[in-house]
């Protein structure tokens, strides 16, 4: 039996976790999260972190591995993920790498060579004080190649690129390369074909999060870590924080969160569509699991079809 890796990726709110759970149960596989916010403890509801019940059904890894006050670098994530994949193969398992953080997935699938530069909090603070427009312009000067691949509003990646440059004296783009793993990799991408239905799906998702106690979660995070915690300015959390501060009515905060999520999903689509060898599946298909298995079976000859059990 050839052991490899199954990747399930795509924009947010397209059913990646549900498909992964179904396949993981059929295959006896663990799930490795590829979500850059689910790695942080206490950010649960707003990141759609797998429930305790789901985590009890199927082993999940790379979730709750970092304090919100820390910064997990892509290199650190990559190292932990690669170690887990090796352990899974040693146990005769084919893990599922599941999530929407494109850089995490590329780090594993393409074997990106990441500079081992620890976070520099003081340097980051000084750069942040200059404002995102200025530091992005500065990145365009010192590392134009890296700037091409970083969105002008992506502060985290802008800071990281400048952090690497100032720490090593070498542009990030000159320190990166690829060393793909030798094992076979199957990439399945999920997306919603109907924009209006996707919008309804986002609205339902946010409403459900609120029903689950998202506002109480945000209040607790502000009380514990302070309102200036960078993670509280990420997707959805910023809007809920603004509502709690009285800056917006709740319905307006929800609409703003939906708008930002749609914009984010558009960037995710652009990112993943640029990756080769992803087999795209419509998330609304009633035969989604069967379609996924259609691609899985040729990669792992010798497995019986779990759908026939």
Residues 99/16, Cβ–Cβ less than 8 Å = yes
Per DSSP, the three-state class of 12 is coil
Query: Please, what is the average pLDDT of the chain?
Result: 92
For each of the domains in the chain, give its residue range(s) and CATH number, in order of start: 117-175 (1.10.20.140), 195-266 (1.10.287.890)
- Per-residue pLDDT of 198-220, as tens digits, reads 999 999 999 999 999 999 999 99
Question: What percent of the chain has pLDDT above 70?
Answer: 96
Task: Choose among 246, 213, 212, 199: nearest CA to 227.
Answer: 246
Read off the pLDDT band of 299 (50, 70, 90): confident
Task: Choose among 10, 18, 46: nearest CA to 266.
Answer: 10
- Compute the distance between CA of residue 258 and CA of residue 256 in angstroms, rounded to an integer: 5
Give strand pairing partners of 190.
281
Question: What percent of the chain has pLDDT above 90?
Answer: 82
pTM: 0.84
């Amino acid at each position: 039996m050839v052991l490899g890796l199954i990747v399930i990726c795509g924009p947010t709110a397209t059913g990646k976790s549900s498909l992964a759970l179904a396949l993981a149960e059929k295959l006896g596989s663990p799930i490795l999260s590829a979500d850059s916010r689910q790695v942080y403890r206490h950010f649960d509801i707003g990141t759609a972190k797998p429930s305790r019940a789901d985590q009890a059904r199927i082993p999940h890894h790379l979730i709750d591995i970092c304090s919100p006050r820390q910064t997990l670098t892509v290199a650190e994530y990559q190292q932990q993920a690669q170690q887990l994949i090796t352990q899974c193969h040693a146990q005769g398992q084919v893990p599922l790498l599941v999530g929407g953080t494109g850089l995490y997935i590329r780090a594993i699938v393409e074997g990106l060579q990441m500079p081992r530069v620890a976070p520099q909090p003081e340097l980051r603070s000084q750069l942040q004080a200059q404002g995102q427009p200025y530091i992005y312009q500065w990145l365009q000067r010192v590392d134009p190649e890296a700037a091409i691949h970083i969105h002008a509003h992506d502060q985290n990646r802008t800071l990281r690129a400048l952090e690497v440059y100032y720490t090593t004296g070498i542009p990030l783009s000159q320190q990166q390369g690829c060393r793909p793993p030798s094992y076979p990799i199957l990439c399945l991408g999920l997306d919603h074909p109907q924009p209006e239905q996707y919008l309804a799906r986002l609205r339902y998702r946010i409403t459900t999060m609120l029903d689950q106690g998202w506002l109480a979660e945000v209040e607790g995070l502000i009380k514990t870590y302070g309102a200036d915690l960078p993670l509280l300015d990420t997707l959805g959390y910023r809007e809920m924080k603004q509502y709690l501060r009285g800056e917006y009515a709740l319905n307006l905060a929800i609409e703003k969160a939906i708008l930002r999520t749609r914009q984010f999903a558009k960037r995710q689509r652009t990112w993943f569509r640029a990756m080769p060898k992803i087999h795209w599946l419509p998330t609304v298909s009633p035969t989604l699991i069967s379609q996924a298995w259609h691609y899985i079976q040729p990669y792992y000859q010798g497995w019986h079809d779990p759908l026939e059990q």
